[in-house]
């Protein structure tokens, strides 16, 4: 019962640990999913933003286009206006011969030329309008030429000649103010058509932009909602798991409590009667020894001997069961100092031939000092005990630091053991020697084994009958040692 | 022994065998002081506060209380708490003498104000030695506040 209870206490603990490990693993999976979801949603949003930006720019472009078209149209209207006014000025001049009208004519001609240059610039991007503008330009040039011809005729031959030039020119190539007007209005129509086309295209674009924005945003929203729901269900799952763990921990705490009160009872109630047996046996020995013969005295001695043994067993078992519950407080342990301390104590109480002790430097351990002290005390007292019958008892202690663990070795030249029984060595109450050969309860090595495994280390033994035993234990390096 | 004087040592112990062993150990240590033994926590408090069965006992506090932990009715820790909280009794040295070597008990009793905590050894020779030393130290050598 005592033996099984500590191990049942440690089993739920390891399950708790495993459950915690599973949570950590799940976390990673869920995190990757959430991360991917967020990245996709972010990409969608960035896409939507970029799309909005480019359509905004396209919209600004189309506004510019409208302004451009208007500019072309205004320039065309002004050009045809200037040419028409120039013609009017010429006609006025021919009627009145006022020099002011001629100046006005020249001004309007200059204005027309300027307009033509401006238009050339404006329609540079449109080849068909460029061609149209070429036609317009030559029409205007011809018209100007005719008008200038009329002025020349007037200067030399008078008003009749000038009128004749105008009339001839009208008949000859048909270039009139009306033709120029027709050409400008043709160009104007082209511009208007272009404007309509561009407006239609941008309206189409607007619809597409709107639709794709709505779809993208809807997708991102759905994705975020999905993520939110996923995270929420994950949180709920974890909360459930946590509750479960709490319940388990509570259960564990309760069973630990039970175990504690159990060992408390054992400690108190098993020892009290033993003390009475021993005490009263001693009282017989002290008060009635004279009335007992040799056999009676021997019986008494056997009673007392066994009472003591039972006491030692109870104590060792309690120590063993306490180990399962005791918290481990790890720190850097100076093994040289600790072993010397334990050796001094052990040798002080040692009866018989003092052994030869050979001790090498031992690496620092990362462990619970109090528990390690117990390990060394048990191993050293074992070594002392089993080599006490050797001719020249020798105990060798050594240690070595490896890549992941520190190993410590204690070797004696005592009675040793057969490797057939090596499995039994670390079991509770397992003994390879009779009590009349060597004293002991069979708990010492079980305690050592439990302490080492609670530190995450390992222990093993090698032996040969009458040739000594070697015990090696290895402890994992601490975080700071790496 | 003077029946009219208060006890020098109050032994609180439920086990007859342990009580007998303890008294024998005290005698073997040459402590001839008057020892009164009570069987549980309730009786112990009645004795200390002069109530119930001990209403008419001679006045005065014992020089030492030897207290067992695990007893029927009222346990040692509760007796200790009451004794250490009461102005009349809080200066009496209380030594816990118990079978329990549990850390939990040791810590708890020290927190309540025990003067000493001793684990009864199974070996009677050792037990005798421990009890004799305790009796000698607390009931004879130790100077108590007036």
Which region among A6-10, A266-270, B93-97, B135-139 has the lowest average model confidence (pLDDT)? A6-10
**A22 vs A101, residue with greater confidence:** A101
* pLDDT tens, position by position, A384-414: 888 888 888 899 999 999 888 899 999 999 8
Please tell me which of the candidates B69, B100, B124 has its beta carbon nearest to residue A275. Answer: B124
Q: Rounded distance, CA A200 to CA A192, Å?
A: 12
- How confident is residue A23, by pLDDT bands cut at 50, 70 and 90? very low
Nearest to A282 among B69, B105, B124 (CB): B124
Chain B contact for A259 (CB, 8 A cutoff): no
Query: Which of A2-6, A32-36, A59-63, B48-52 has the highest mean predicted lDDT (pLDDT)?
Result: B48-52
pLDDT score for A9: 37
Asked if A263 has any chain B CB less than 8 Å from its own CB, the reply is yes
Window from A170-174, A301-305, B49-53 with minimum mean pLDDT: A170-174
* Residue whose token pair is 């030869």: A356
Q: Is B102 a residue whose pLDDT tops 50?
A: yes
Three-state secondary-structure class, residue A292:
coil
Host H or E run for residue A342: helix A335-349
Contacts of B126 in chain A (CB under 8 A): none
Q: Is the pLDDT of residue A15 over 80?
A: no
Would you place residue A248 in the very low, low, confident or very high pLDDT band (cuts 50, 70, 90)? very high
A 10 A CB-CB count for A399 gives 22
What pLDDT is recorded for position A397? 93
**B69 contacts in A (CB within 8 Å)?**
268
Nearest Cα neighbor of B127 from B33, B40, B18 is: B18
Q: What pLDDT, on the 0 to 100 scale, is given for residue B6?
A: 65
Judging contacts by C-beta atoms under 8 Å, the chain A residues touching residue B27 are none
Considering only the beta carbons, identify the residue of A268, A278, A279 that sits closest to B70: A268
Report which of residues A198 and A458 the model is more confident about.
Answer: A458
| Residue-by-residue DSSP string for B28-80 | HTT--S-EEEESSHHHHHHHHTT-GGGTTS--S--SEEEE-SS-SSS-HHHHH
Distance (Å) from the alpha carbon of A310 to chain B's nearest alpha carbon: 9
Q: What is the pLDDT of residues A261-299, one digit of tens each?
A: 777 677 667 888 888 898 899 889 888 989 999 999 999
DSSP reduced 3-state for A358: strand
A281 touches chain B (CB under 8 A): yes
Confidence of residue B2 (pLDDT cuts 50, 70, 90): very low
- A370 inside 8 A of chain B by CB: no
Give, to the nearest 10 degrees, the angle between helix B124-135 and helix B16-28. 60
* Nearest-by-CA chain A residue for B102: A264
pLDDT at A41 over 50: yes
pLDDT at residue A447 is higher than 70: yes
CB contact under 8 A, A271 and B98: no
Closest to A234 (Cα-Cα) out of A51, A433, A33, A86: A33
Query: CA triplet A55, A61, A67: central angle to 5 degrees?
Result: 145
Residue B146 three-state SS: coil
Count of CA atoms in the C-beta half-sphere (13 A) of A323: 27
Chain B residues lying within 8 Å of A282, measured CB to CB: 124-125
Strand partners, B98: B119
Give the mutation candidate from B124, B125, B127, B129 for the A interface (greatest A CB count, under 10 A).
B124
B18/A281 touch (CB, cutoff 8 Å), yes or no: no
Residue A193: is its pLDDT beyond 70? yes
Q: What is the pLDDT of residue A244?
A: 94
Count of CB atoms situated within 10 Å of the CB of B43? 22
Q: Which member of B69, B104, B122 has the closest CB to residue A274?
A: B122
Do B93 and B80 touch, CB atoms closer than 8 A?
no
A264–B contact, CB cutoff 8 A? yes
The predicted pLDDT at position B94 comes to 92
Q: ipTM higher than 0.90?
A: no
pLDDT of residue B98: 85
Q: Residue A337: CB partners within 8 Å, gap ≥ 6?
A: none
Average pLDDT score, chain A: 82
B50/chain A closest Cα distance in angstroms: 30
The span from the first CA to the last CA of chain A, in angstroms, equals: 41
Chain A CB within 8 Å of residue B75 CB? no
How close, in Å, is residue A445 to chain B by CA atoms? 22
Contacts of B105 in chain A (CB under 8 A): 264
Residue A9: which of A324, A365, A471 has the closest Cα? A324
Taking CA atoms, what residue in A is nearest to B69? A268
Using an 8 Å CB-CB cutoff, list chain A residues near B122: 271, 274-275, 278, 307-308, 310-311, 314
The shortest C-alpha distance from A263 to chain B (Å) reads 9
Are residues B120 and A311, on separate chains, in Cβ contact within 8 Å?
A: no
What integer is the mean pLDDT of A293-317?
A: 87
Whether the pLDDT of residue A434 is over 90: the answer is no
Q: Does B78 touch chain A (CB under 8 A)?
A: no
- Inter-chain contact A308–B101, Cβ cutoff 8 Å? no
- CB distance A271–B120 less than 8 Å? yes
Q: Within an 8 Å CB–CB cutoff, is residue B120 touching chain A?
A: yes
Q: Does B18 touch chain A (CB under 8 A)?
A: yes
Mean pLDDT within B36-51? 90
Give the whole-angstrom CA distance, residue A202 versus residue A210: 12
What does A361-423 look like in DSSP terms, one character per residue? ----EEE-HHHHHHHHHHHHHHHHHHTTTSSS-EEEEEEEE-SSEEEEEEEE-SS---GGGGG
Q: Which residues of A touch B123 (CB under 8 A)?
A: 278, 308, 311
**Does residue B10 have a pLDDT over 60?**
yes
Task: Give the pLDDT score at A27.
Answer: 53
Residues 6+ apart with CB under 8 A from B95: B64, B65, B66, B67, B114, B115, B116, B117, B118, B134, B138
Q: Between B83 and B53, whose confidence is greater?
A: B83
Which member of B18, B102, B124 has the closest CB to residue A272?
A: B18
Nearest chain A alpha carbon to B128: A279
A271/chain B closest Cα distance in angstroms: 6
Of B20, B99, B104, the CB nearest to A268: B99
**Residue A175: pLDDT band by 50, 70, 90 thresholds?**
low
**A130-149: average pLDDT:** 85
A85 Cβ contact list (under 8 Å, min separation 6): A104, A108
Minimum-distance CB partner of A268 among B20, B100, B123: B100
Q: Tell me the per-residue pLDDT of B70-88, one tens digit each, with 9 for 90 and over.
A: 888 888 899 999 999 998 8
Look at residue A148 in the predicted model and tell me its pLDDT.
84
Mean pLDDT, range A57-63, rounded to an integer: 79
Cβ–Cβ below 8 Å for B127 and A267: no
pLDDT above 70 covers what percent of chain B?
95
- Cβ contact B93:B138 at 8 Å: yes
């Amino acid at each position: 019962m005592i033996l099984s209870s500590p191990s049942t206490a440690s089993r739920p603990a390891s399950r708790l640990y495993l459950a915690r490990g599973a949570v950590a693993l799940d976390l990673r999976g869920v995190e990757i999913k959430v991360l991917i979801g967020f990245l996709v949603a972010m990409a969608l949003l960035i896409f939507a933003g970029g799309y909005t930006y480019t359509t905004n720019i396209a919209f600004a472009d189309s506004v510019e286009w409208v302004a451009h078209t208007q500019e072309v149209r205004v320039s065309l209207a002004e050009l045809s206006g200037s040419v028409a006014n120039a013609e009017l000025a010429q006609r006025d001049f021919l009627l009145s011969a006022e020099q002011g009208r001629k100046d006005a004519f020249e001004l309007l001609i200059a204005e027309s030329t300027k307009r033509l240059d401006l238009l050339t610039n404006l329609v540079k991007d449109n080849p068909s309008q460029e061609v149209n503008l070429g036609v317009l330009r030559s029409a205007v040039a011809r018209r100007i030429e005719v008008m200038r011809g009329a002025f020349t005729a007037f200067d030399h031959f008078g008003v009749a000649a000038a009128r004749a030039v105008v009339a001839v020119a009208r008949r000859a190539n048909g270039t009139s103010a009306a033709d120029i007007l027709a050409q400008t209005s043709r160009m104007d129509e082209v511009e208007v058509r272009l404007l309509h086309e561009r407006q239609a295209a941008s309206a189409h674009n607007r619809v597409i932009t709107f639709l794709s924005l709505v779809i993208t945003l809807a997708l991102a929203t759905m994705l975020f909602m999905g993520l939110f729901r996923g995270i929420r269900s994950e949180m709920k799952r974890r909360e459930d798991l946590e509750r479960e763990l709490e319940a388990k921990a509570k259960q564990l705490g309760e069973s630990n409590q039970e175990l504690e009160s159990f060992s408390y009872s054992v400690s108190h109630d098993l020892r009290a009667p033993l003390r009475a047996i021993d005490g009263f046996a001693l009282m017989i020995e002290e008060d009635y020894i004279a009335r007992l013969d040799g056999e009676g005295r021997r019986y008494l001695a056997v009673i007392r001997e066994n009472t003591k043994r039972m006491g030692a067993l109870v104590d060792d078992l309690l120590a063993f069961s306490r180990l399962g519950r005791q918290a481990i407080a790890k720190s850097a342990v100076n093994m040289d100092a600790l072993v010397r301390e334990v050796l001094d104590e052990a040798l002080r109480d040692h009866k018989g031939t003092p052994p030869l002790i050979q001790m090498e430097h031992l690496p620092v351990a990362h462990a619970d000092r109090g528990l390690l002290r117990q390990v060394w005390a048990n191993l050293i007292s074992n070594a002392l005990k089993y080599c006490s019958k050797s001719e020249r008892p020798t105990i060798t202690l050594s240690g070595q630091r490896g890549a992941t663990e520190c190993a410590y070795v204690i070797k004696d030249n005592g009675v040793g053991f057969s490797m057939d029984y090596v499995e039994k060595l670390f079991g509770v109450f397992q003994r390879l020697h009779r009590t009349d050969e060597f004293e002991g309860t069979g708990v010492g090595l079980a305690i050592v084994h439990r302490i080492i495994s609670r530190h995450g280390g390992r222990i093993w033994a090698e032996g040969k009958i009458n040739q000594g035993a070697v015990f090696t234990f290895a402890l994992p390096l601490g975080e700071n040692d790496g | 022994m003077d029946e009219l004087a208060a006890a020098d040592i109050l032994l609180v112990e439920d086990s007859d065998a342990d009580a007998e062993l303890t008294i024998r150990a005290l005698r073997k240590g040459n402590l001839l002081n008057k020892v009164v033994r009570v069987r549980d926590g309730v009786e112990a408090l009645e004795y200390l506060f002069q109530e119930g069965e001990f209403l008419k006992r001679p006045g005065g506090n014992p020089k030492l209380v030897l207290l067992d932990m695990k007893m029927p009715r009222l346990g040692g820790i509760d007796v200790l708490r009451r004794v250490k909280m009461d102005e009349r009794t809080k200066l009496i040295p209380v030594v816990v003498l118990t079978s329990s070597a549990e850390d939990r008990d040791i810590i708890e009793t020290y927190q309540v104000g025990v003067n000493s905590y001793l684990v009864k050894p199974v070996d009677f020779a050792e037990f005798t030695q421990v009890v004799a030393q305790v009796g000698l130290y607390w009931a004879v050598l130790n100077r108590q506040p007036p």
